[in-house]
Amino acid sequence: MQLNVIGQENAAADGSSCASGSCGSSNDQMSHLPQDIQDKVKNHPCYSEEAHHYFARMHVAVAPACNIQCHYCNRKYDCSNESRPGVVSEVLTPEEAVMKTKAVAANIPQMTVLGIAGPGDPLANPQRTFETFRMLSEQAPDIKLCVSTNGLALPDAVEELSKHNIDHVTITINCVDPAVGAKIYPWIYWNNKRIYGEKAAKILIRQQQKGLEMLVAKGILVKVNSVMIPGVNDDHLKEVSRIVKQKGAFLHNVMPLIAEAEHGTFYGIMGQRGPSPEELQDLQDECAGDMNMMRHCRQCRADAVGLLGEDRGEEFTLDKIAAMDIDYNEAMKKRAVIHAGIMEELDEKEAKRKRLAAVSVPAVEATVPAATRPALMAVATSGGGLINQHFGHATEFLIYEAAPKGVRFIGHRKVDQYCIGGDTCGEKESALDGSIRALKGCEAVLCSKIGYEPWSLLEEAGIVPNGEHAMEPIEEAVMAVYREMVSNGTLESPAPQMESASA
Amino acid sequence: MALSIVDSCVNCYACYDVCPSEAIYQSSPHFKINARKCTECEGDYAQPQCASICPIEEAILDASGAAVNPPGSLTGIPPEKMAAAIREIQAR
Ligand code: SF4
Ligand code: SF4
C-alpha cells in the first residue's frame, strides 16, 4: 500500500486561502483529523467522496432482532423496491454471511469494508453478529469490519468488539435529553421489561453516552449518526454534536428523516415532515463548526452491496453464491494488488487537483465581486471528479455551492423512486420526475449529455441544463458556470426557493 | 397455559433469543411457541419475555387468544389514523 499522501497535501492546502478545489471537499473535512485516523479511513468508501467511487462496501443482514422502537422505523415493512436503511429482504445466518462476504470480495476486489447494520440492532443479536465477525477476522483478514448500533446494548459489547478486526462503530444518537427522546422512541426492552416514554429515553441516552466513552477509551473509532426530525430534535442536534465531539467521536453525520405515509412508520402516518435539503444543509453547516460532518452518506439498505449509491446485491443471492467456487487466499493476493493500484491513482489525482487549484485561484477572485450571492448546482458524475454522466443515467446528483470565494461540495441528492406499498407495489414514478424533484433549489445541472425532453422540463422548472463541460473537472466547471451566471446577470435576481423534498 | 405466535409475526428472532424456556422455535411461515414448553415465564420473569420484546402488534396472543400487544400499543399510531392512511394510499 502507498503511504498516505492525501492527508499531508490537505494539511498544506488548508494553510492557503480557501480556494476552488479542496474547499469543503470531503478530503478537506478529513484533514482536521489526526494523521492516524486519516490513515484508517482514507480507503473507506463512506468517508471520502473520492474514495467511494473506487472502494466498495457491503452490509450483511445477520441481525434481525431489535431492542428498541424508533418512530421512523416500521419493522413490518420489507419490500425489495425499498431502499431505506433498516430494510432488507433476506436474513442470513453467520455462515451464509461469511460465504457471501468472501464471494463479493473475490468478485468485487474493490470491496474493503463489511458492515453489520441490521435489519434490527446488531448488538441486540450478539451471537449472530460476533460469530460473523469472528469468522471474518480469521478467514478474510483484509476486510475491515464495522458495525452500527442504537447504543442500548453497547457498553456490554465493547470488550468483545475490541477483540475483532473492528475498524469503527457507528452509534445513532438522536438526542441527549430524555424529553426529546420520548418523542422519538416509544419504548425500549431493558432488563427483561418493556419500558416506555422518558424513562426509556433516559436509559437509552445513558447507555449511548457510556458506550461512546468506553469505545473511545479503547481506541476504537466512533462515528455518530443523527436523524434530523424538524420540530423534534433539529435545534437539539447542535447540542448533540457538541457533546459527542467532546467525548471523542471522530465524525458526526446528520441525515434527513425519511417519512412517508406509505412506509407505515409513526412519523409517516402522523404526517411528520422531513427536513428540506436547505434545512438539512443549514444544520450541517452549523454543526460543522463543532465537528467534522459527513456530506455524502447514502443511507444504504442493511444488505447493500457495491459502490455507494449502487446495489449489486442481486448478483450475490444465496443460490448464486453456492454455485461459486471461491479460493479466498488467491483472491486476497489479487485484492492487495488492486487496492495498491487504486491508492496510487487516488494519490495522483489529489496531486493533480492541487496543481489545478493553485492555478485557478487568482482567476476566480479577479472575476467575481465578493458580494455576489452563492448558487447551487447539481452535477451528474460516475466518478473520477469529472462531469461524465448522462443526465438520464444519474441515480443521484452531487450538489455544489459556488460562491465568490470558491466552490464547495454540499452533499448528494438521490433520485428517489419509492414504491407506495400494498397493491401498487412495484409502480414507480417516472425517473424524470424524480430527477427534477431532487434538483429543487439548484440553478443549473451539469452533465455530459442530456435528452430533449428533460431539457425542456428542466428549463420549465427554472434549472438550466448544461452539457458544455463534459469530461471537465467538476469544481472548475462549476466555477466556470458560476462566472457565466455573474456576467449574464442571473445572480442579480434572488435565489430560487427550496421546497421540502418530502412535500 | 401458553402464549402463541400468529400470522403477523415478521420472523425477527427477538422472542426466540429471550425465551427462558426454549419454547420458541423457527418454523414456516413464522416462529412458533411450543405450548408444552411455554411457562408464560412464570417463576422467571414478571412479564412474558416474548411479548415484552416483540415489535409487532397482534403477533403474540395470550392463553385466551387476545393480543398481548393490541393495535396502537407499540407504535403509538392510533388505529383510526392507520386505517385512514391505508384508505388514502389505496385510493391513489
Ligand atoms: S411466555 Fe415466556 S416461556 Fe412462553 S414462549 Fe414467551 S418467553 Fe417463552
Ligand atoms: S418477536 Fe414477534 S415478530 Fe419477532 S419473531 Fe417473535 S413473534 Fe415474530
The C-alpha atoms of residue A187 and residue B74 are separated, in whole angstroms, by: 8
For the domain that residue B86 is a member of, what is the CATH number?
A: 3.30.70.20
Cα B54 to averaged position of ligand 2 atoms, centre (Å): 5
Model ipTM value: 0.95
Q: What are phi and psi of A475, to 5 degrees?
A: -65, -35
pLDDT at residue B62, rounded to an integer? 95
Mutate to test the interface with A, among B7, B9, B10, B12 (most CBs of A within 10 A): B12
pLDDT at residue A45, rounded to an integer? 55
Residue A424: list chain B partners with CB under 8 A.
92
Task: Please judge whether B76 and A65 are an interchain contact, meaning their C-beta atoms are less than 8 angstroms apart.
Answer: no
Give residue A227's identity as a one-letter amino acid code. Answer: V
Mutate to test the interface with A, among B9, B42, B47, B77 (most CBs of A within 10 A): B77
What is chain B's length? Answer: 92
Task: Please judge whether A261 and B85 are an interchain contact, meaning their C-beta atoms are less than 8 angstroms apart.
Answer: yes
Who lines ligand 2 at CB under 6 A? B 5, 9-15, 30-31, 50, 53-54, 56, 59-60
**Measured CA distances, A460 to A250, A390, B78 (Å):** 43, 20, 42
pLDDT at residue A21, rounded to an integer? 28
| Sign of the alpha-carbon torsion through A417, A47, A123, A213 | negative
Tens place of pLDDT per residue across chain A (503 aa): 333 322 232 333 332 223 222 223 333 445 555 666 666 666 555 555 555 556 777 888 899 999 999 999 888 754 433 444 444 456 889 999 999 998 888 888 878 888 888 788 999 999 999 999 999 999 988 888 989 999 999 999 999 999 887 878 999 999 999 999 999 999 999 999 999 999 999 999 999 999 999 999 998 989 999 999 999 999 999 999 999 999 999 888 888 898 888 888 899 889 999 988 788 888 888 877 544 545 444 444 444 555 545 567 777 777 787 777 778 888 888 888 888 887 787 777 777 766 666 554 444 445 678 888 889 999 998 877 788 888 888 888 888 888 888 888 777 787 754 333 334 334 444 667 777 777 888 999 999 988 888 888 888 888 999 999 988 888 889 999 999 998 888 888 887 765 444 33
Closest CA to A66 of B10, B26, B85: B10
Which of ligand 2's atoms lies nearest the C-alpha of B53? 1
pLDDT at residue A153, rounded to an integer? 97
Higher-scoring residue by pLDDT: B1, A126:
A126
- Which residue's entry shows cell 482514507? A42
Residue B18: list chain A partners with CB under 8 A.
189, 192
Q: Which residue does chain A place closest to B10, by CA atoms?
A: A76
| Total number of domains in chain B | 1
| A269 inside 8 A of chain B by CB | yes
pLDDT at residue A310, rounded to an integer? 58
Q: Give the cell for residue A23.
A: 474547499
pLDDT at residue A175, rounded to an integer? 97
Task: Please judge whether A262 and B89 are an interchain contact, meaning their C-beta atoms are less than 8 angstroms apart.
Answer: yes
pLDDT at residue A472, rounded to an integer? 87
Q: Which residue does chain A place closest to B7, by CA atoms?
A: A76
**Measured CA distances, A339 to A129, A139, A331, A440 (Å):** 27, 19, 12, 37
Mutate to test the pocket of ligand 1, among B18, B19, B52 (most ligand atoms within 8 A of CB): B19
With cut-offs at 50, 70 and 90, classify the pLDDT of residue B34: very high
Give the E-state strand segments of B1-92 in sequence order. Answer: 4-5, 24-25, 32-33, 60-61
The C-alpha atoms of residue B69 and residue B46 are separated, in whole angstroms, by: 16
The C-alpha atoms of residue A141 and residue A132 are separated, in whole angstroms, by: 13
Strand order in the sheet with A166-172: A251-256, A221-228, A166-172, A144-149, A111-116, A56-59, A305-306
Domains of chain A: 33-322 (3.20.20.70), 361-492 (3.30.420.130)
Mutate to test the interface with A, among B56, B69, B89 (most CBs of A within 10 A): B89
What is chain A's length? Answer: 503
Q: Does the structure show a pLDDT above 90 at B44? A: yes
Task: Please judge whether A261 and B82 are an interchain contact, meaning their C-beta atoms are less than 8 angstroms apart.
Answer: no
**How do beta strands A396-403 and B60-61 pair?**
unpaired
* DSSP symbols for A320-357: HHHT----HHHHHHHHHHHHHHHHHHHHHHHHHHHHHH
pLDDT at residue A14, rounded to an integer? 30
Check pocket membership of B50 for ligand 1, CB cut-off 6 A. Answer: yes
This prediction has a pTM of 0.73
Cα A227 to averaged position of ligand 2 atoms, centre (Å): 26
| B45 inside 8 A of chain A by CB | yes
- How many beta carbons lie within 10 A of that of residue B69, not counting itself? 19
| B14 inside 8 A of chain A by CB | yes
- How many beta carbons lie within 10 A of that of residue B63, not counting itself? 12
Give residue A218's identity as a one-letter amino acid code. Answer: K
Residues 169-198 of A with CB under 8 A from B: 186-187, 189, 192-194
Residues 212-241 of A with CB under 8 A from B: none
Task: Please judge whether B75 and A266 are an interchain contact, meaning their C-beta atoms are less than 8 angstroms apart.
Answer: yes
pLDDT at residue A498, rounded to an integer? 53
| B87 inside 8 A of chain A by CB | no
| A425 inside 8 A of chain B by CB | no
Cα A268 to averaged position of ligand 2 atoms, centre (Å): 23
Higher-scoring residue by pLDDT: B53, A411:
B53
What residues make up the domain containing B79? 4-91
The three-class DSSP label of residue A94 is: helix
